Amino acid sequence: MTYSPEMQIPGGVGHATGASSLGHMPDGKWAFDESVTSVFGDMLARSIPQLSLMRELVFEVACRFVQPGTHVLDLGCSLGESLVPLVSRFGSTNRFVGIEVSAPMLAACRERFHDLIETGVVEIREQDLRAPYPEEQASVTLCILALMFTPIEHRFRILNDVFTHTRPGGALVIVEKVLGGDARTDAVLVDLYHQHKRAVGYTQEEIDRKRLALEGVLVPVTAAWNEQLLRGAGFSHVECFWRSLNFCGWLAIKA
């Protein structure tokens, strides 16, 4: 079997089934377990303001830096949603590697890309971002809502490894949840974010339970600190291309 543009990539778990995340109550510390994996598509749609626009912009920005014959990496690929449009556009000329540590996410993503894994177009690799970095030299690396789940002390090393393994003229496209620049503005952003979550159907109890479960697991930093990390890693051009409340997306280019 060889790749052809007509190949269809199934929808992700949760997204394809329409499984709702309403009523999902984490018990203890947050984990990307089977209960989260089964509703993950709906959970993101309700939890990330302007998710569809963010996905579209990630794709459009990344397209401008994909070099023929190179790898595209997705760090913390979850169900592979960010890879799908890039594989559909560049699957005949490029190879794709998704990195994921959650066993349920890994299994669901491998099932989703089964045919393309068989052809060698896609590889979904079990790997922790704290482990040694993949050896591939990529023209584009995606890191969508993933770095924020790694301990802060590992983030600069990860970004430095991304830079080292990015081809000249290539880019990192990264999306993160962020803190406000100070306590007062952060409080406003958090309040607006919780208002958004209530508007899409979550109860205050669900919001509070998830917030408590994520404490110490999802650790955001300010937008300015993220930009400092990207520039410190070596990226000479860093630009925010999307922001909605306390979520930001950046393009970081290797000259």
Q: What is the pTM of this model?
A: 0.93
Q: Which residue has the higher pLDDT, 39 or 6?
A: 39
Judge whether residue 35 has pLDDT over 70.
yes
Contact (Cβ atoms closer than 8 angstroms) between residue 79 and residue 106? no
| 135-144 residue pLDDT tens | 999 999 999 9
Distance CA 73, CA 56 (A): 17
Q: Cα angle at 180 between 247 and 190, to 5 degrees?
A: 70
Of residues 23 and 54, more confidently modeled: 54
* Separation of first and last alpha carbons in the chain: 37
Confidence of residue 7 (pLDDT cuts 50, 70, 90): low
Asked if the model's pLDDT at residue 67 lies above 70, the reply is yes
Question: Reduced to 3 states, what is the DSSP secondary structure of residue 179?
Answer: strand
Domains of the chain with bracketed CATH: 34-253 (3.40.50.150)
